[in-house]
Amino acid sequence: MTVTVDLSVSLREAGVHVVLDLRGGRLPAVVHWGADLGAFGPEDGGTLSLTGLEPIAANVVDEPVRVALLPEHWTGWVGRPGLSGARRGGGAWSTRFTTTALRIGSQEVAETTGGGLLELSGPVVLEVDAVDEAAELELTLTFEVLTGGVVRTRARLGNRGAAYAVHDVVLAFPVPPVAREVLDFTGHWGKERVPVRRPFQVGTHLREGRKGRTGADAATLLHLGVPGFSFAAGEIWSVHTGWSGNHTHYAERLSTGEQVIGGGELLLPDEVVLETGEAYTTPWVYAAYGVGLDDVARRFHRYQRSRPQHPSTERPVTLNVWEAVYFDHDLPKLVALAEAAAGLGVERYVLDDGWFGARRHDRAGLGDWTVATDVWPDGLHPLVDAVTGLGMQFGLWFEPEMVNLDSDVARAHPDWVMATGGRLPVESRFQQVLNLGIPECYAYVRDAMLAILDEYAISYLKWDHNRDLVDAGTQPSGRPGVHEQTLACYRLMAELKAAHPGLEIESCSSGGSRVDLGVLEHTDRVWVSDCIDPLERQQMHRWTTQLLAPELMGAHIASGRSHTTGREHDLNFRAVTALFGHLGIEWDLTRASAPELAELQRWIELYQQYRGLLLGGDLVRVDFPDPSVVVGGVLAPDRSAALFSVASVARSEVVTLGRVRFPGLDPHRRYRVTPLMLETAPSGLRPPPWWGTGTTDPFLANVAGHGHTALDAAAARGVELSGAALSGLGLAMAQLDPDHALLYLVDAVG
């Protein structure tokens, strides 16, 4: 027997406080989501709800509008409804759900009446069941408080009646009126996650992804904050839809004053039609509150690091051979690359596109997942044996969801190509999309991949996805198939990992077009961008870490001349930029000079020495007003050490930039700050006096204005100050030519 749920729930974790109102049997509504409000009395849940009710204004409904996690039209809410759908003929399009059960963890709350307050702390899962008898629909809302204070919610909609077409399901969080500025992201191939700010006005700020994948231009995280919020300051409320297919992020401000942010899956027409007894479950919608963008980012990082499948900080240094050889797979050359990499301390070797079928170029062979015998007469064994014999892991590139029409599989099964309207979709990258929603197609791809994994000692898959989904229907009917394709991709990743425990997967999609927490439930790394130009990567890394912990972010040292922009950069800038992620190399090492290899080895050794800090510390990005400099770093969780990077990315209109602060240090401890350099000085280096070398010192005379001069790193003694002084006042930075960077090591004294 069910009873009407009638209580409020207070949830606290890591300084974040959420109060949910479930009184009167109505769907849960967020009364408060933000900073901890302190201790409550037994009646405070109802009082908090009461004190938020606005007076009845002229020419609006005669009852206060209550906005639930799944907003309902019947309440008088005239913003975007949480559920849009209908039966044939238009019935059940407006629902009125009544809650019937509340579970905390797996335990049902027996006493759910009386309007009391239930207080909980720490990570917890709440599930609320509800039903609309007239509409013949049932609903389960799950609300989870995660480690670090991030919350997430999703809905499961069940159908008890005739066929019900689900058009849209979004979940929404109310945001207080002080939040009047929007920040989200856009981008394109080779320049992902470009931040965009704008005022939050009356109306809807809507970001829809209709590419069948997350997209290089995805909103990623939608933030609402107090005007002028920064990395360090200002209250911010943010949402992220954890889904790798079509999706929605939105912020809405009504003329009546209410404002919400939310998201969900974007469903194509009749993509989800529930027959009697069937159900649809939405993706997770994640939400984070923080003071400053760094606080929001760290909350996401702490949640990610709490997951049992999360990789350790001992991320292996990786060589990917794509930019070294492209499609030219020559065994002696590839073995020479492996030998050079192993000699530098590289720990993982990845063979990219071109090893299978007729794949000598990008117009043929995609989808034929058998080793090309004309290129590899003995299979991949000679290369795999050479790589593993050198002590490295072996990784392999796949693009399981795609196909060239010039392939055996497309010729044998043209109906496996996603299409609608009796036509093929427009080509992109000379390829089409294989429909993993067709069971036979899914089984073919799965079995082909498992055959390769069973035969070879493969520890890692680079999983690519190089085109948007256009006209993505299931033949012959042409019914939309993006929803099923996304679920099938997740299922395939899970099956491969179950069959090969320990297998790691990198999410690559034309670079960084599949970066979301949905795919990160099944993968261990994302490829940020196909552009490895360090000047571009300075910004892409800075903003990718707004959602992802650095250890999940592939960050490579490329060749001196960027293959995507044509710019040339010294190894110093390339290496310092790549250190603050999962370090890799994308460079033909057989063409590197002996001095370059020696310096590269030192950078790898430096990464290996500090990767516990680099990949396990707390992110900090410094608010510095001059855009010619990018400053950021990581802090040890116990604040015993930190590494900061100061990168010159342009020329300023002023000669000297003043002090740069090192935020986040323990104000009560003392620290020594030392520039961390290798064999060569960055171009244009002019050290400040606090480095500990007098202005007449030969060291200064040698390096001032002259790059590439041999240095003894110990010559710079650094300075010792309190954490309060370093955080609040800072230090004058060395001058550098543009496109160069310096590392600063901050160590607690004693």
Distance, CA of 630 to CA of 621 (rounded, Å): 8
User: Per DSSP, what are the bridge partners of residue 29?
Assistant: 21
Strands 553-558 and 525-527: parallel
From the candidates 530, 533, 570, 739, which is the catalytic residue? 530
Asked if 246 and 266 touch (Cβ cutoff 8 Å), the reply is yes
Residues in the chain: 750
Sign of the CA dihedral running 477, 480, 484, 486: positive
Distance CA 90, CA 336 (A): 67
Rounded-to-integer distance, Cα 308 and Cα 49, Å: 37
How do 432-433 and 348-351 pair as beta strands?
A: unpaired
Are the C-beta atoms of 534 and 573 separated by less than 8 Å?
A: yes
Burial class (CB in 10 A: 0-12, 13-18, 19+), 256: middle
The residue with tokens 């010192």 is: 697
CB burial class (10 A; 0-12, 13-18, 19+) of residue 721? buried
487 Cβ neighbours under 8 A, 6+ residues apart: 437
Rg, Å, the chain Cα set: 28
What does the longest C-alpha to C-alpha distance in the chain come to? 88
Contacts for 750 with CB less than 8 Å, ≥ 6 apart? 670
Q: For residue 517, give the amino acid letter.
A: L
Is 530 catalytic? The answer is yes
DSSP 506-527: EE-BTTBS--STTGGGT-SEEE
Distance between start and end Cα atoms, the chain = 64
Rounded to whole angstroms, the Cα distance separating 486 from 509 reads: 13
Q: Which residues pair with 735 in a beta bridge?
A: 686
Kindly tell me the burial class for residue 628, based on how many C-beta atoms sit within 10 Å of its own C-beta (0-12, 13-18, 19 or more). Answer: middle
Distances (CA, A) of 524 to 146, 246, 305, 503: 19, 22, 12, 9
Angle at 304 between CA 22 and CA 288, to 5 degrees: 40
Residue type, 204: T
d(CA 507, CA 524): 8
8 Å CB contact between 214 and 515 = yes
Whether a cis peptide bond, with omega within 30° of 0, leads into 425 is no
DSSP code string of 332-372: HHHHHHHHHHHHHT--EEEE-S-SBTT-SSTTS-TT--SB-
Asked if 235 and 223 touch (Cβ cutoff 8 Å), the reply is no
- Say which of 295, 352, 464, 739 is annotated catalytic: 464
- Dihedral angle, C-alpha 79, 85, 87, 90, nearest 10 °: 30
* Kind plus residue range of the DSSP H or E element containing 280: strand 279-281
Q: Are 10 and 45 in contact (CB under 8 A)?
A: yes
Alpha helices in 182-320 (DSSP H): 293-306
Q: How many angstroms separate the Cα of 747 from the Cα of each of 216, 576, 639, 666, 687? A: 38, 19, 9, 11, 20
User: Which tokens go with 378?
Assistant: 């003995």
Q: How far apart are CA 460 and CA 122, in angstroms?
A: 35
Tokens of 239: 């949402």
**CA 22 to mean position of chain CA atoms:** 32
Determine the Cα–Cα distance for residues 182 and 178; give it in Å rounded to an integer.
12
Q: Which residues are catalytic?
A: 464, 530
